[in-house]
Amino acid sequence: MLSTYNFYTIYSYLSHSDLGRWLCVATDVPGKDCIEQRILRERSEIQKHFLEIKNWRCYYFFQDSGFPMRIITQLPILPFQRKFIGGIDYIDSIRSTDLTAPIMVGVDCYRRPFIVISYKCFGDKWISWNGDVRNFWGAGGNKRLTLTVFNRYTSEKGGGEWCKAGSGSFSGCPILRGSDTYLNKKYKQLLTKNICELLSGSLVSYINGLEEICRVDCRLINL
């Protein structure tokens, strides 16, 4: 019979895979069940830390983006696919069917971070700059709107200019309505507020044509 001392000496030097193979054929090992449970716990911890490191490799590129890291690091990561990029290298081809959660973040092949939001608008009207009343795009919740905001050019930590793209960037969509394609600080702050409003189920803030802050019923899609 193998002594406990000799067994733990073996345990100290073998890898998990080698130790697992050895335990499969070993029949008389002191504390075998406890060792097997310990191996499973250690493997689980290793996988957890590996995932944290893998996630941080994505979140790293948002550090100078202007979006709060405490929010970014709570959002799930969308693995990049080459089809997400359009003809002029805009990240404008992400569809709601590509998502596993209604708000996700990611980094493309050029190391450009992006945020994608898929939602529906259940409001009806908004007021334009001349006082005309216009319909929201997808009013009444009849369209899925997918908005992508992304770092336009490669930078180390997401600094520089950010753009909006996708079906959720069309004129008449409530989130970022009235903003230019390139987002200034005001609209980046408004988008941060919109993300919090969507996650909490609150009415979403937008700026109408008269530069007034208004609220509208927008809801994240169910995936």
What pLDDT is stored for residue 154 in this prediction?
A: 85
Do 16 and 115 fall into the same domain? no
DSSP code for 214: E
What pLDDT is stored for residue 37 in this prediction?
A: 73
Do 122 and 45 fall into the same domain? no
| Distance, CA of 134 to CA of 128 (rounded, Å) | 7
Do 152 and 97 fall into the same domain? yes
Do 187 and 91 fall into the same domain? yes
Do 50 and 88 fall into the same domain? no
Do 50 and 74 fall into the same domain? no
What pLDDT is stored for residue 161 in this prediction?
A: 92
pLDDT, tens digit only, all 223 positions of the chain: 455 555 556 556 666 666 666 666 666 665 666 666 776 777 667 666 556 667 778 899 999 999 999 999 999 999 999 999 998 899 999 999 999 999 999 999 999 999 999 999 999 899 998 889 999 998 888 899 999 999 998 877 778 899 999 999 988 899 999 899 999 999 999 999 999 999 999 999 999 999 999 999 999 998 7
What pLDDT is stored for residue 41 in this prediction?
A: 75
Beta bridge partners of 147: 117
- Confirm if 35 and 11 have CB atoms less than 8 A apart: yes
Q: For the chain, how many structural domains are there in total?
A: 2
Do 199 and 119 fall into the same domain? yes
CA atoms within a 13 Å half-sphere pointing along the CA-CB vector of 65 = 34
Do 17 and 120 fall into the same domain? no
Of 209, 207, 199, nearest in space to 218 by CA: 199
- Confirm if 216 and 125 have CB atoms less than 8 A apart: no
Do 52 and 103 fall into the same domain? no
Q: In which domain, by residue range, is 181 found?
A: 66-220
Beta bridge partners of 104: 116
Which residues have a Cβ under 8 Å from the Cβ of 112 and sit 6 or more positions away?
61, 91, 150, 151, 152, 153, 154, 155
Do 130 and 202 fall into the same domain? yes
Both tokens of 190, joined, read 């408004």
Last residue within a domain, chosen from 18, 38, 58: 58
Do 113 and 169 fall into the same domain? yes
Last residue within a domain, chosen from 17, 35, 58: 58
| Distance, CA of 89 to CA of 93 (rounded, Å) | 10
Q: Please, what's the b/e burial string for 111-147 (b: 16 or more CB within 10 A of its CB; e: otherwise)? A: ebbbbbbbbbbbbeebeeeeeeeeebbbbebebbbbb
Do 22 and 74 fall into the same domain? no
